[in-house]
A = this chain, B = another copy of it.
Amino acid sequence: MKGRRLLMIPGPIEFEPDVLQAMGQATTSHVAADFIEVFGRALERMRQVFLCPGGQPFVVAGSGTLAMDMAASNLVEPGDHALVVSTGYFGERFAAILERYGAQVTMVRAPLGAAPALDEVEEALGQRDFKLVTVTHVDTSTGVLTDVKGVAALAQRYGALSVVDGVCATAAEECRQEEWGIDICLTASQKAIGTPPGLALLMASPRALEAWRRRKAPVANYYADWANWLPVMEAYEARKAAYFATPAVNLVAALDVSLGHILAEGLEARFRRHVRIGAACKEGIAALGLTQLAQPAVAAHTMTAPYYPAGIGPEVLKAILEAGVILAGGLHPEIKGRYFRIGHMGSVSDGDILATLGAVERGLAAAGYRFEAGAGVAAAQRELLRGS
């Protein structure tokens, strides 16, 4: 569909060729011996990628929103209090989902581009007994990175479950689910996980499962109910067939390949690579005189959200597309038309960053913006060389 153009949005991303080949394989039975092996291995690999060997992985056909829905519907009982640490669109969405299942939601927000301080989170936690705290690791709408380690530690101290929306972060931003005591970490396949869209991924801690087991009200959402999925996940991981709903065979096969790549690189190297690549992109954008939505101290390494220069709007994305790179427009409702988004996750390479900045320069030039030609790519390249 996209030919040789680069897809540099905050998901879906550029996938590894062998991941795409796994997508295009002739589908086999969901209970064929080789598929059971593939699915079982993917679940095992998820534990390693989430740095949560003792967790319970769930892989279900759906989007990242389904993963959020699964967390909320399985943990929340009507009347439960939930604290939402919001840094953008997806924090607000989590609140809406939690409320759907009967939660009383308290929000901790920060100004656009900032993240709430841990103090504020702690203060909120002290107000009442929260069943759970959610926090968006990187909000795809703003590119703000939060201190999920700190939030999880606070949640634990205050006896709440911690839920990390890792949709734009997991497998790229540093996250040590088990060590940091995060109860649920969830994401979607098409982000740093490196698999085409269509899979919701969720890792639950024993404490989260225990809370679910103790609930009194039935889970209000049938499709997302862990009672349906848990036996299936356990069976496949034990290399046995099981059935609740037909798994998305090709996507699961692709996921297994992609998780294999992630583990081959190593999580530590992968976290470092995203820091380095993210810095290069941000340096390049800054060198062109563009400001960014996220404050530098809380800027994600997986994406960059620059404001358009004065007098230039979303139409510049078309020129950038013609220059060979697909970028994303704004998403946050308050400022949708004033900024754009660059994703740099997963298989992203040095070359992708240079190509992207080159196309941004070309688009800006076509739109009449004045800047030193080459300044963006040169700044990014200097950062890349520095970070080698």
Tallying the copies of this chain within the complex gives 4
Q: Does A356 contact B (CB under 8 A)?
A: yes
Chain A positions 292 through 331: 1 when the CB is less than 8 Å from some CB of chain B, otherwise 0? 0000000000000000000000000000000111101101
0 or 1 for each of A335-366: is its CB under 8 Å from B? (1 = yes): 00000000000010111101111110110011
Partner of A32, one of B1, B190, B376: B1
Does A50 count as interface, using CB distance less than 8 angstroms?
Answer: no
B65:A62 contact, CB within 8 angstroms: no
Instruction: Known A61-B66, A96-B222, A324-B349; judge A388-B365 contact (CB<8 A).
Output: yes
The interface stretch among A5-13, A104-112, A178-186 is A5-13
Bound Cα distance from A359 to B350, whole angstroms: 8
- Given A4-B14, A221-B222, A197:B249 Cβ within 8 A: yes
In angstroms, Cα B353 to Cα A358, docked, is: 10
A192 interface contact, C-beta 8 A: no
Say yes or no: A14-B26 contact (C-beta < 8 A), given A222-B221, A358-B381, A381-B361. yes
CB distance from A194 to the nearest CB of B (A): 11
Could you tell me the distance between the alpha carbons of A6 and B245 in the complex, rounded to whole angstroms? 22
Contact, CB under 8 Å: B12 / A17: no
Interface flags, A88-105, vs B, CB<8A=1, else 0: 000000001100110000
Residues in A lying within 8 Å of B, measured CB to CB: 1-7, 9, 11-12, 14-18, 20-21, 23-32, 34-35, 38, 60-66, 69, 72-73, 96-97, 100-101, 188, 190, 196-198, 218, 220-225, 243-251, 253, 323-326, 328-329, 331, 347, 349-352, 354-359, 361-362, 365-366, 373-382, 384-386, 388
